[in-house]
Amino acid sequence: FKGFENLSTHSFIYRPLVERFRKPPLLIRAHSGPTACFDGSYNSEVQYWTAKGFFVAEVNYGGSSGFGREYRERLNYKWGIVDSYDCKSLVIELLKLNLVDSDKVVIFGNSAGGLTALNSLCNKDFFKAAICKYPVIDLKDMHQNTHRFEKDYLNFLIGDYEECPENYKNRSPINKIKKTKKPILLFHGKKDSVISYKQTLKIQEKLQKNNKHSEVIFFEDEGHGFKNIDNKKKVLQKTEEFLKKVLNI
């Protein structure tokens, strides 16, 4: 399991364990939280992809914990902007180093990382596809219906809703999906009490109309975070099938 920390971007880079491609595809991973972080510890999914010949990068974008208060506060009122910008910046850096295939860059994100991934896909040309589990899709809905523990979380990530409702609208992937023709693969559990699967259900038809490779998969018995080993295997299987189609590999 090979990795090194890029101190300039606070990201962890994992080189392919096998030479399957002339130049490897790049999988960018945006963490959840959104103020959590990647710490470089063992991750079975990262191991799986590097063993398949993919180059994987975990991005600790502005707002990530563990890099000081100033870095943490970069995300204040700018969630949906700074996070996507930092993901793009890392892709640019890796392309300059000639380490990855510029035509095969995909972004992954779970939960809050899903918002980062989908916004990055809709706003930037670097990413060819997005793959997300139980993503944040509608910030207005999150503001109105999130659980008590995170009730006021968006006040400093986006701003007070009464004062800046347009920020909630403009940074919500659900309002951008119809504008992109790029493939998207989404997974969501129907027992999710944090982000309702109905939000993902709302964009299913839009995705299928926009791109024949887009797909939405629901699990009846999963919540916010998948636990069933068979479902985890299905996620990897479906993701690999999806990558083969959209990256033509």
The two three-digit tokens of residue 236, written as one number: 């990897």
Q: What is the CA radius of gyration of the chain?
A: 17
Tens digit of each residue's pLDDT (9 = 90 or more) over 159-216: 999 999 999 999 999 998 887 889 999 999 999 988 899 989 888 877 877 777 889 9
Work out the burial of residue 8: count CB atoms within 10 Å of its CB; fewer than 13 is exposed, 13-18 middle, 19 or more buried. exposed
User: What φ, ψ does residue 231 adopt, rounded to 5°?
Assistant: -70, -40
The two three-digit tokens of residue 93, written as one number: 């850096």
Work out the burial of residue 244: count CB atoms within 10 Å of its CB; fewer than 13 is exposed, 13-18 middle, 19 or more buried. exposed
How many CB atoms within 10 Å of residue 145? 12
Cis previous bond, 34, omega within 30: yes
What is the pTM assigned to this prediction?
0.91
The two three-digit tokens of residue 26, written as one number: 């790049």
Tens digit of each residue's pLDDT (9 = 90 or more) over 52-102: 999 999 999 999 999 899 999 999 999 999 999 999 999 999 999 999 999
Tens digit of each residue's pLDDT (9 = 90 or more) over 12-29: 989 998 889 999 999 999
The two three-digit tokens of residue 125, written as one number: 């040309």
State how far the Cα of 109 lies from the Cα of 132, in Å rounded to an integer: 5
User: What φ, ψ does residue 86 adopt, rounded to 5°?
Assistant: -70, -35
